[in-house]
Chains A and B, each alone.
Chain A
Amino acid sequence: EIVLTQSPGTLSLSPGERATLSCRASQSVTSSYLAWYQQKPGQAPSLLIYAASSRATGIPDRFSGGGSGTDFTLTISRLEAEDFAVYYCQQFGSSPYTFGQGTKLEIK
């Protein structure tokens, strides 16, 4: 099983700042099979990034993804109020299709 470790667990930032979230895999993941999701309280998750760096439909360009192999990042260039949420990475390279434990992005 591929274990995904996200860091930090909680990130406290102010609107307008840059956020960098990390997702590290216990073994190499093909970039095509790495996704990021955003989840707001009381809502289902929604797709942000797929194939490590491709934005899903309707996702603003302040969200970007990168990385390869075992290290992946999600960057939000200038935080807006609606970006404060929990973010998860997930790998689809091999079953079970594991999630990271999540990073909570909170307002400082």
Chain B
Amino acid sequence: QVQLVESGGGVVQPGRSLRLSCVVSGFTFSNYGMHWVRQAPGKGLEWVAVIWYDGSNKYYGDSVRGRFTISRDDSKNTLYLQVNSLRAEDTAIYYCARAGISGTAIIDYWGQGTLVTVSS
């Protein structure tokens, strides 16, 4: 079955960096685009970034562009999100998600998320 397991969250000071990971199983990772989506405590969903199945294209949300970098390592079935220059407003659960609907970037599976708390 499809599984996505995030890790790397924690408490970090403002201005610092973190790398989030998402290990996937149950499908051929290299065939799928992947997303990061976040959710601040008690708030709605915010799309963060997407990477194409072959890594050829990467797109970012306006609030993270220039600070966050999405990448993938197909040999490790792992998706990454490098988050730099963290701010209090980056505090959220970060979900990785699969773009699984054929011919689109629509998300069909989600991980359970990893919590990032930015606080001094």
Contact = CB atoms under 8 A, between A and B. Distances in A.
Contacts of B46: 99
A35 B113 contact: no
B110 A45 contact: yes
A13 interface: no
Interface stretch (B19-27, B57-65, B75-83, B84-92): B57-65
Contacts of B110: 44-46
Contacts of B95: 44-45
Contacts of B113: 44
Main secondary structure of the interface of B (DSSP, over half): strand
Nearest to A56: B108
A82 interface: no
A81 B95 CA distance: 26
Interface string A74-108: 00000000000010101010011111111000000
A47 interface: yes
Interface in A1-60: 1, 32-33, 35, 37, 39, 44-47, 50-51, 56
B104 A96 contact: no
Interface residues of B, number: 24
Chain A, interface residues (CB within 8 Å), range = 20 to 34
For the complex of A and B, 10 pairs with smallest distance between CB atoms: A95-B59, A44-B110, A99-B45, A92-B105, A102-B44, A97-B47, A96-B61, A50-B106, A35-B106, A50-B101
11 contacts: A44-B95, A44-B110, A45-B95, A46-B110, A47-B109, A50-B106, A51-B104, A90-B107, A95-B50, A95-B59, A100-B44
Given A39-B45, A50-B104, A98-B47, 20 more contacts: A1-B62, A33-B106, A35-B106, A35-B107, A37-B45, A44-B95, A44-B113, A46-B110, A51-B104, A51-B106, A88-B44, A92-B104, A92-B105, A95-B50, A95-B59, A95-B60, A96-B47, A96-B60, A97-B47, A99-B45
Interface of A: 1, 32-33, 35, 37, 39, 44-47, 50-51, 56, 86, 88, 90, 92, 95-102
